[in-house]
Chain A
Amino acid sequence: AQTVTQSQPEMSVQEAETVTLSCTYDTSESDYYLFWYKQPPSRQMILVIRQEAYKQQNATENRFSVNFQKAAKSFSLKISDSQLGDAAMYFCAYKEALYGNKLVFGAGTILRVKS
């Protein structure tokens, strides 16, 4: 079964600085999707960024970018120019491309932003 591991329970970053959240996953599939979701104190899950495994180019969405290393099964999220509104729980998630309906979530990383 696929598993997703987020090894950092909590991270802190100074406002305007850059932080990287780690995520590794285990799968025998070659085609799949990876996602980062943000859950602020309101508890609304918000899609931050997504990556298709067949694409070598790393996804980018404004201040958010990923470092996707398929061979290493690593999918880290980089947040640049951190803002107070970035403070949240961040979840990494995996989904099989062809047969998978379900998202497999990591345990989450709490990100604190200091002013």
Chain B
Amino acid sequence: GAVVSQHPSWVICKSGTSVKIECRSLDFQATTMFWYRQFPKQSLMLMATSNEGSKATYEQGVEKDKFLINHASLTLSTLTVTSAHPEDSSFYICSARDNREVQETQYFGPGTRLLVL
């Protein structure tokens, strides 16, 4: 149980284009999902908290217009990197909070590697 998928796992795009990453909770409903960014050998950096049916909450320093988040259903959140540039190249990870658990454990997707040329 508590499986989270992410698609795509790998994406290469040209500078200036937009890229959409999907995060799905496969066997549970998630009112809240999270988007992280991770650089090699570093910890996870929270970008935003995605809430089903409402606007995402962005962390300080994260550009809302650049990283668009949509949480349209209890099992799907999407992150769109708009007008991507090489500095946006990174590993993006989503997680979903299992509402059934008191501890509200976050379960993570396998991540998406983005390379912007």
Contacts and interface: CB of A to CB of B under 8 A. Distances in A.
Given A50-B105, A52-B103, A95-B104, A107 B110 contact: no
A65 B116 CA distance: 41
A106 B43 contact: yes
Chief secondary structure at chain A's binding surface: strand
Contacts of B102: 52
Given A43-B91, A43-B111, A101 B43 contact: no
A73 B95 CA distance: 26
Interface residues of B, number: 22
Contacts, number: 51
A44 B110 CA distance: 5
Interface string A31-58: 0010101000011111100101000000
Interface in A69-115: 89, 91, 95, 101-103, 105-108, 110
B70 interface: no
A105 B49 contact: no
B108 interface: yes
Interface string B5-33: 00000000000000000000000000010
B49 A102 contact: yes
A52 B105 CA distance: 11
Nearest to B59: A102
B106 interface: yes
Contact of A91 (B32, B44, B46, B107): B44
Given A45-B93, A91-B43, A101-B104, 9 more contacts: A35-B105, A37-B108, A46-B108, A101-B49, A101-B97, A102-B46, A106-B43, A107-B42, A108-B41
Interface of B: 32, 34, 38, 41-44, 46, 49, 91, 93, 95, 97, 102-108, 110-111
